[in-house]
Homo-oligomer: A and B are copies of this chain.
Amino acid sequence: MSAVEICEVSPRDGLQNESVVLETASKVTLVERAVAAGARRIEAVSFANPRRVPQMADAEAVMAAVPRTDDVSYSGLVMNRRGLDRALAAAVDEVNVVVVATDTFCLRNQGATTAEACAAAAEIVAEARAAGLATSVTIGAAFGCPFEGEVPTTRLDEVVARVIDAGPDEIALADTIGVAVPAAVTERLGLLDRRAGPGTLRRLHLHDTRNTGVANAVAGVAAGVDVLDASIGGVGGCPFAPNATGNVATEDLVYVFDRSGVTTGLDLATLIDAAGWLEGRIGRRLPSALLHAGPFPP
């Protein structure tokens, strides 16, 4: 019997990529439904510039309203010093910092080369830790880049080394545009393992853009990954593939793991209810398979 933690990212990466902007109260309800389903780690908000990411402009209001208990950890995405100050004021439990594995994408995403973004991440991680927060660095485009194409493992290895120098509690490999396959997950998690000490948590951020999300998650658990990001309903999308699906659906992962003897601590029926509710709020058919097919046995 193995286990994996699922970090619920629908309130942040999911909603950030929807054209419909949910009101604060609905975001809080989404978080409450995730907690009711058993989620104990939630990326709830982003402290990005509200002019660039208007969907996340109410981060402080969301954090002020979500249920705070000792066993639920709330993470906020932080891009810079200003974002960290907001995160500290909003009293998140963790900060997540992104660096992108290719310079082209990193410059477009945050106006910095990968090396500059790693240096900035190191400062944010140090200050967040000094303030008592848990820290995570997500390496975007770790499996492929929409601008540069293939990301060689040698390049990823260099980025991983820089991120390890930044010293976060956790490092994530993000399949930002959904191009990974299980063999690449195994290879690139192995690369992370060789660089990182046993005290560093390893997380995978998977998108189901090319229908490989579940297979990649299964490969990740087989390789001993600690945490998987997922999104209720599979809400969200891919800014580089306008018709494509988003984060792998939480309930799709829980289905496959429930039937494979892998513990997640999440309740499938409660997640499916939440996905149905969210589909109604978003107003389009969400990609979640379990929402539309139902569980088995019924």
The residues of A with any CB-CB pair to B shorter than 8 Å are 144, 149-150, 177-179, 181-184, 208-215, 218-219, 238, 241, 243-245, 249, 252, 255-256, 259-261, 288-290, 292-294, 296-298
In the bound complex, what is the Cα–Cα distance between A177 and B181 (angstroms)? 25
Are A292 and B244 in touch, CB under 8 angstroms?
Answer: yes
* Among all A-B residue pairs, the 5 with the closest Cβ atoms: A211-B289, A215-B215, A244-B293, A149-B297, A179-B296
In the bound complex, what is the Cα–Cα distance between A245 and B287 (angstroms)? 11
- Chain B residues with CB below 8 A from A212, complex form: 214, 252, 255-256
CB closest chain-B residue, reference A257: B181
Are B260 and A181 in touch, CB under 8 angstroms?
Answer: yes
Are A293 and B184 in touch, CB under 8 angstroms?
Answer: no
Given contacts A183-B261, A209-B289, A215-B215, contact A144 B241 (CB under 8 A): no
Are B241 and A184 in touch, CB under 8 angstroms?
Answer: no
In the bound complex, what is the Cα–Cα distance between A44 and B183 (angstroms)? 33
Are B209 and A241 in touch, CB under 8 angstroms?
Answer: no
CB closest chain-B residue, reference A294: B241
Beyond A181-B255, A211-B289, A241-B293, 11 additional pairs, beta carbon < 8 A: A144-B296, A178-B293, A182-B218, A208-B211, A210-B289, A210-B293, A210-B296, A212-B214, A214-B215, A215-B256, A238-B293
